[in-house]
Amino acid sequence: MSLLPDPSHMTALQREGSISLVGAGPGAADLLTGRALARIAAADVVFYDRLVSADVLALIPPSARAVNVGKEVGQCAWPQDRIDRLIVDSALQGLRVVRLKSGDPSVFGRAGEEIAAARAAGIKIEVVPGVTAASAAAASILDPLTERGRFDRLVLATGTTLAGKAPENLAPSLVPGTRLALYMAVHHADLLQAGLAAGGLNAALRVTVVSQTGTPFERVLRCALGDLGQEVRAQGIRNPAIIFVDIPLAQTVSDSAGAVALA
Amino acid sequence: MSLLPDPSHMTALQREGSISLVGAGPGAADLLTGRALARIAAADVVFYDRLVSADVLALIPPSARAVNVGKEVGQCAWPQDRIDRLIVDSALQGLRVVRLKSGDPSVFGRAGEEIAAARAAGIKIEVVPGVTAASAAAASILDPLTERGRFDRLVLATGTTLAGKAPENLAPSLVPGTRLALYMAVHHADLLQAGLAAGGLNAALRVTVVSQTGTPFERVLRCALGDLGQEVRAQGIRNPAIIFVDIPLAQTVSDSAGAVALA
């Protein structure tokens, strides 16, 4: 079976194809934007990632072909260059291609490679932004990503770059006043904990892990940084999840009783 | 005139009030989520910020009272504690209160103070996440916020904390492999440029400024960090805007001809 869409979807008059990189948001169908819904409704073919939820997939109209190009982290069943070729070839056939990505396509979504491939082929391309996972997790637990006077800065990083190496180079960027949000990192929780400790962060810093945000299976783990690896394992927390690490401003730390001290 | 909503909105049977902190997204009406639209449609009163667009305000039903609690940056016509009291008092009257904030409420939206006020008063509160300005700007200019192997990390910071001081403490967090997105900072472009230079960043680093994202008035300025203040002034760029500063990974810098070197 060819993975390319059925040519019968095309009209006799060759239409100009296009590619929309669409943010599917955190999973709930009512957290997509109106523009995302419109692009999905008009699609001839939808190439979607593994993390796109069943509720969102249910929005794909029966007239569109839906193709799962998702891969488990660390596996490479669908290399990025194959996806690039596939979306471009489909658009060159005149199809309206939706490339559906969980969260926001611009955040750890490898959108740049797909944009470059489309441009190289002269294909019309757009990005429809979405609600990124950190925003959704913060909303769900009512704990904003920034907090005036405590967390003036938010750092988004990804666990996929942690594989095989401790994240020593993460620690220097975590000056007081920072909240760190780590995407797809719970399977590297031990590495993360060790790397941040090696980088000088205090083991007592507060960590919050939110998995499966907004679903009936949402879980929230709160612990000290020094217990992160052990707690993630003990509680069986899995991706998709966000790990928040809080490095509050020093003056806030000394002002509020019970807050942790920085290393 | 009282700023509290008209009590005639209430049914004879006292209803339980609630507060929804709703993300209005970057401005376009089709970039709100379905959940945001539902909360606005069901609202008795909507308290909105200055940056919420006319297109979004047009979504507020005639049956709801709409109150502008926005303030210019640096002005304090509506202190935060007054807004906190107002939304809580309205909910205590049994009203469905929507607090409409541009972008995502959890990103530089002072949501934490409103959540704390609601909790202290025993009011039901939720956060409806939205598309944050950095995601929208990145989508609009087709330049993703992260890029595998070049920008593994995204730092969100705000210009409102720059007032009266150079952002020396920003530079240490900008290790190679980082893209910095600064919210509401163009009026401090000179300070920012000076602070990042004092912190050791190379004046040749690439900067991109996107103002009024997604509107017919969108403008994109690309320049070197060393020219930022001058270019912002020369071109009359104003808030709302996002300033992106790119600090690519060192190996990428040396690999690609024409890319800038780090200091």
Across chain B, which has 263 residues, the per-10-residue mean pLDDT values are 52 77 97 98 96 96 95 66 96 98 96 97 98 98 93 89 63 87 93 89 96 94 97 95 92 38 36
CA distances from B172 to A47, A91, A159, A173, B254 (A): 40, 44, 21, 6, 21
Q: How far is B123 from chain A (nearest CA, A)?
A: 13
Check if the beta carbon of residue B262 is closer than 8 Å to that of residue B176.
yes
pLDDT digits over A34-44, tens only? 999 999 999 99
Over residues A142-170, the pLDDT tens digits come to 999 999 888 989 999 988 766 556 566 77
Stretch 61-120 of chain A: residues touching chain B, C-beta under 8 Å: 104-113, 115
Q: What is the pLDDT of residues A164-211, one digit of tens each?
A: 565 667 787 788 899 999 999 999 999 899 989 988 899 999 999 999
> What are residue A157's DSSP bridge partners?
A182, B153
Average pLDDT, chain B: 87
Shortest CB distance from A154 goes to which of B115, B156, B177?
Answer: B156
pLDDT in tens, B99-143: 999 999 999 999 999 999 999 999 999 999 999 999 999 999 999
Distance from the A136 Cα atom to the nearest Cα atom in chain B, whole angstroms:
6
CB contact under 8 A, B131 and A136: no
Task: Point out the catalytic residue in the list B44, B84, B101, B184.
Answer: B184
- For residues B157 and B60, the answer to whether their CB atoms sit within 8 Å is no
Nearest CB to B38; choose among A30, A174, A175:
A30
Say whether A115 and B142 touch across the interface (CB within 8 A).
yes
Write out the two tokens for B27. 């401005």
Return the structure tokens found at B21.
Answer: 């902190």
Please give the angle made by the CA atoms of B128, B131 and B135, to the nearest 5 degrees. Answer: 155
Phi, psi angle pair for B63, to nearest 5°: -75, -15
> What is the β-pairing status of strands A65-68 and A219-224?
unpaired
HEC letters along A115-165: HHHHHHCCCEEEEECCCCHHHHHHHHCCCCCCECCCECEEEEEEHHHCCCC
Instruction: State pTM to two decimals.
Output: 0.89
